[in-house]
Amino acid sequence: MSNLNAIKISDSVYWVGAIDWNIRYFHGYSTKKGTTYNAFLVMADKITLIDGVKKGFEDELLERVASVVDPQKIDYIVSNHAEPDHSGGIPKIAEIVKPEKIFASKGGVRALAAYYPELPVEAVADGGELSLGNKTLKFMETKMLHWPDSMFSYLAEEEVLFSQDAFGMHLATSERFDDELPWSLLVDMSTGYYANIITLYSPFVQNLLKKVAASGLTFKVVAPDHGPVWRNMDNFAEMLKYYDKWSARKTDKKAVIVYDSMWHSTEKMARCIEDGLVSQGIKVKSLFLQSCDRSEVATEMLDASAVIAGAPTINNEIFPSMSDVMCYIKGLKFKTPFGAAFGSYGWSGESVKYLSQMLADMGCEVIGSIKSLYVPSEEVKKQCFELGKEIGEKINNKN
Ligand code: FEO
């Protein structure tokens, strides 16, 4: 008897994934609530496994499969996405299951060949179909969402979309479905996931949303590779609105102040800028890097109209934690309209100049920059307040 069980998600489809309660670091992204590696078993004439799990979680997947069917009866494996959190377990699973065939997109064939040269993988075409006997899988490439190989699979007879990373979230739960979890949690976790993983590819999201709408496909279940399975389509429709907003780069009357501080001087400046923004009715997220990390900064940046970056100068350079964050958010290509820089210094004071240049490189209109020698004087504090106020006015005029 199997220890771990599959969960039925539609007439012939079972969730057979793994729950990773303990992961806290996912290639640079903080996964404070763990994650799941979702895989799905389609009990058609040709029994098919959609996606795998991360290496080390193969036994969990196989146990869940065994609660439905002998794993060796699996005929096909479909890899929708080659990133190792989904493909890492496939070599071991394939060795045990001995599937007749393994399928992936053309890009997937290339990526899987690089990771697992021993694995025979056949390419399926964008728009192509695979007969499972009494069921049919349709494929839709979703290139750069978020890898070149990414694709969706769609089980036509049951209107189940296997969406790999899209519409997922890093959230380990015992609940398997969206409607078993609070909506606010789903939004929060989806926001962080989108901000950190998908923001850069937002133009592709806009195109994909149009492509899916034009396809006329309808969904009863949307099954991503992380987090809960969407079976309440009202919830999913609301989530699509968020994806549309995020990918269209719509911003709110909100500012992010992100900074680090050595001896609280830059911190004092941050608080005065915050006060100036608040005086204009702007929502402010003040993020001190000694109590938050780059993933939280990216998450808050998603709908912010301004980013105000602060760092002391150390060794003629920006304080390292701020260099890390600026590099990260620059890479994600947020479209933040306004920026400003501030920081304290003792003798050379290059950090504010460098931060200003980084903000300009990110496409922000740099509204101002303020340096403080050692400790902010009353005059500097007033300048900080005025800078916050000016940015607040700009945000109000824009939104
Ligand atoms: Fe969940 Fe892009 O891997």
Tell me the angle at which helices 265-278 and 378-398 cross, rounded to the nearest 10 degrees: 40
Q: What is the DSSP string of 127-156?
A: T-EEE-SSSEEEEEE-TTSSSTT-EEEEEG
pTM of the predicted model, to two decimals?
0.96
CA distance 70 to 296: 43
Cβ-contact 292, 325 below 8 angstroms: no
What is the distance between the alpha carbons of residues 59 and 53, in angstroms, rounded to a whole number? Answer: 10
Contact 165 CB / ligand 1 (< 6 Å)? yes
- What are the residues whose beta carbons fall under 8 Å from the beta carbon of 169, sequence distance 6 or more? 186, 189, 190, 192, 193, 224, 226, 227, 228
86 is catalytic: no
Which tens digit of pLDDT belongs to each residue from 115-148? Answer: 999 999 999 999 999 999 999 999 999 999 999 9
- Return the closest-CA partner of residue 308 out of 333, 281, 326, 290: 326
Residue 80: band (very low, low, confident or very high) from pLDDT cuts 50, 70, 90: very high
pLDDT at 177: 98
CB of 83 closer than 6 angstroms to any ligand 1 atom: yes
What is the per-residue DSSP string for 373-398? ESS--HHHHHHHHHHHHHHHHHHHHH
Structural domain spans, the chain: 7-247, 254-392
Is 243 an annotated catalytic residue? no
143 Cβ inside 6 Å of ligand 1: no
What average pLDDT does range 40-46 have in this prediction? 98
Identified catalytic residue from 14, 29, 81, 194: 81
- Averaged over 3-27, what is the pLDDT? 97
CA of 319 to the centre of ligand 1 (A): 31
Q: Is the CB of 146 under 6 A from ligand 1?
A: yes
Whether 2 has a pLDDT exceeding 80, the answer reads no
| Nearest-angstrom CA–CA distance, 111 and 335 | 30
Contact between 296 and 287 under an 8 Å Cβ cutoff? The reply is yes
Mean pLDDT calculated for residue range 321-338: 97
Q: Which residue of the set 116, 149, 201, 226 is catalytic?
A: 226
- Which residue among the candidates 193, 201, 243, 345 is catalytic per the annotation? 193
Which residue has its alpha carbon closest to ligand 1 atom 3?
83
In CATH, which of 3.40.50.2020, 3.30.70.2190, 3.40.50.360, 3.30.420.40 is domain 254-392? 3.40.50.360
Portion of the chain with pLDDT greater than 90, in percent: 97
- Is pLDDT of 1 > 70? no
Total count of residues recorded for the chain: 399
Fold of domain 7-247: Metallo-beta-lactamase; Chain A (3.60.15)
